[in-house]
Chains A and B, each alone.
Chain A
Amino acid sequence: MAVKRGFSTEANWYSRSLRAEMRIKAHEKICPFALAKHLEIPVYAMSSFMGDIPSAVEFFSSDEGCRMLSAVTIFLQNNKRVIIHNDAHDPKRQAANIAHEIAHALLLHPPKPPFDENGARDYSPELEEEANLLGPALLISEEAALWIARNGWPLEKASQIYGASEELVRMRLNLCGAYRRVNRGRAA
Chain B
Amino acid sequence: MATGKFDGEAFFAALDAQRAAKRLTWKKVAEQAGVPASTLTRMSQGKRPDIDSLASLCGWSGLKAEDFYKDTPGIIARPEPLAEMATLFRGDRRLSKEGAAALETLLRTAYERFRIDGD
**Interface of A toward B, CB cutoff 8 Å:** 10, 13-14, 17-18, 21, 38-41, 44, 46, 49, 52-53, 55-57, 59-60, 64-65, 67-82, 84, 86, 97, 100-101, 104-109, 111-115, 119-121, 123, 127, 131
Contacts and interface: CB of A to CB of B under 8 A. Distances in A.
B1 interface: no
4 closest residue pairs by CB, A with B = A111-B86, A17-B37, A75-B86, A40-B45
A114 B82 contact: yes
Contacts of B46: 40, 78, 80
Interface SS of B by simple majority: helix
Interface residues of B, number: 50
A186 B102 CA distance: 54
A84 to B, nearest CB: 6
A73 B89 CA distance: 6
B37 A21 contact: yes
Contacts of B86: 74-75, 79, 111-113
B99 A68 contact: yes
Given A75-B86, A80-B45, A108-B41, A70 B110 contact: no
Contacts of A70: 90-91
A70 B92 CA distance: 8
A140 B16 CA distance: 29
Nearest to A113: B83
A152 B85 CA distance: 47
A56 B106 contact: yes
B103 A114 contact: yes
